[in-house]
Structures are given as structure tokens and as C-alpha cells.
Amino acid sequence: MHKNIDEIKKLESAPKVVRNLFSNSELEKFLNLYHNLPTTVHNKRQNVIKKRWLKNFSEELESLFYEKVKNEIGEFKMDNLKDEKNEDILGLFQESYNPIGLHVDAGFNLDEVIYKQTLIPLTSKGSTVIFKNKFYGNSTNFTIDENELKVKDLKYGQNMRSSEHLNIYKKKPFDQEHHKKFLQHEKIENLSGLEIDLVYEWELGSMLIFDRTRLHCSSSLIEGKKIGLTTFTKK
């Protein structure tokens, strides 16, 4: 568990969507950056391509992003992983053809005071489900899949696997209508005790901001592919 939970809790707030934050030309620059970056992971089983936003690839976009986010959440630091050359990674681009499962991006250093994360859609189709439920451990994928739970040999920056969420929250059955509408890719048993707070329908030019302690996942509503940029902050 994080060591500064009380401090982290004081910084928590409701998720929010900031609309009309980026112009078409700014989004085009982010997309160009995405296409120019080297591929980090091409997971063919999940059909997802991940690219790390490497520092100094576009100082113009780094400055633009920092100022836009600072206006919304105040002072912050980027919570950066490092690449093989020990350079900062500013965020993660993901190109997905299938929905991303239930997880939390709470970081890998339990001494840090984690803060907000952001999501910038670079395609217009897609949606993200934010739950009311929170988790104060490391970045974790939540699953009841026995094969996933056996995965222990994690590389640097990979999420832990756990079913611990089922022991934390009351065993209230998940809303069947919500499951049918948004989350058919998840086994409903894996969502026991969870309650949806916000379904963010992707909209070009907007940005989603939410606490890094929040459980979340993609919705099952994907047409073709979607590309988004996720970044993580700390205090």
C-alpha cells in the first residue's frame, strides 16, 4: 500500500472532462508524434500497440501539454517511467482494437504522492469507464482469470495481477444493465462490488482527468480502432 494514503486522499476529487481544450491542429501534432515514435509493445493477443512518449521528441507538445494540464489541476510533476537509456517517458500512446480490461494506474513507487492521470483521445470513437472504487496499492490489472493470476515474472513497468479487489469491496452484484451496455468484455463476476461513476464518451479536443487511485477500463464499445494518450502525475 502507498505510504502517504492520507495525503493522496486529500488530493482526490471527482473525475472531470474538459471540452474544447485542444485544437484540430494540436491534435494533428499529437498524432504525428505518435506515428513518429518507435513501437514499444505490439501485443498481438490483445491486439494493442503501445508507444512511449519519449522526452525531447517534441518540446513544443511537452510545453503545450504541461500548461494545459496545469491550468486544470494546478502544480504537478510528471510521474515518469524511464526508458533503456534512463530518459523520462512522459506518457503512453495506445492503439487498441479490443477493450482494455479493469485496472488501476497507481504507480510503482509506494513512497510517491500520486495525483491525477489524463486521457486525450486522438480518435473520436471509444469510451472509458471510471468506477467509484479506489485502490491504494501498485498499478494492477484486476482479474479472476487463473492463468493471468499466475503471471509473476513482470518486466519493468508492468502491472501486477490481482483479484484482491473482490475482497476489498462489498460483494454487491454488478448492475446487469450496465454490464450489457458497457462492459461485455469483462466477466460480470470480476466486477462484483464495483459501481460506475462516469462513462467518458471520447470526443476530439477534450481531455479526461481523474484520480490515479480509481479503477477503470475501456468500455466494450469500439468501432475499428482507437488511439489515446495517457499521462500520469504526482505531487
pLDDT by residue (tens digit) across 104-125?
999 988 899 999 999 999 998 8
> In this predicted model, which residue has the larger pLDDT, 85 or 74?
74
H helices of the chain, where? Answer: 5-10, 24-36, 59-73, 146-149, 165-168, 176-182
φ and ψ at residue 103, rounded to 5 degrees? -160, 175
pLDDT by residue (tens digit) across 156-183?
667 889 998 988 887 889 999 999 999 9
How far is residue 202's CA from residue 26's CA, in Å, rounded to a whole number? 17
Q: Is the pLDDT of residue 46 over 70?
A: no
- The pLDDT value recorded for residue 28 is 95
pLDDT band at 26 (very low <50, low <70, confident <90, very high): very high
* Summary mean pLDDT of the chain: 90
Q: Is the pLDDT of residue 15 over 80?
A: yes
- The pLDDT value recorded for residue 45 is 58
Q: How do strand 196-201 and strand 114-121 relate by DSSP bridges? A: unpaired
How far is residue 89's CA from residue 80's CA, in Å, rounded to a whole number? 5
Q: For the residues 142-147, what does the mean pLDDT come to?
A: 90
Establish how many alpha carbons lie within 13 A of residue 212's alpha carbon, considering only the half-sphere containing its beta carbon: 30
The H or E element spanning position 41 is strand 41-43
| pTM for this entry | 0.90
How far is residue 235's CA from residue 87's CA, in Å, rounded to a whole number? 20
- The pLDDT value recorded for residue 18 is 97
pLDDT band at 56 (very low <50, low <70, confident <90, very high): confident
Quick one: what percent of the chain has pLDDT higher than 70? 97
- Domain ranges in the chain? 5-234
pLDDT band at 146 (very low <50, low <70, confident <90, very high): confident
How far is residue 41's CA from residue 107's CA, in Å, rounded to a whole number? 19
Q: What CATH number labels 5-234?
A: 2.60.120
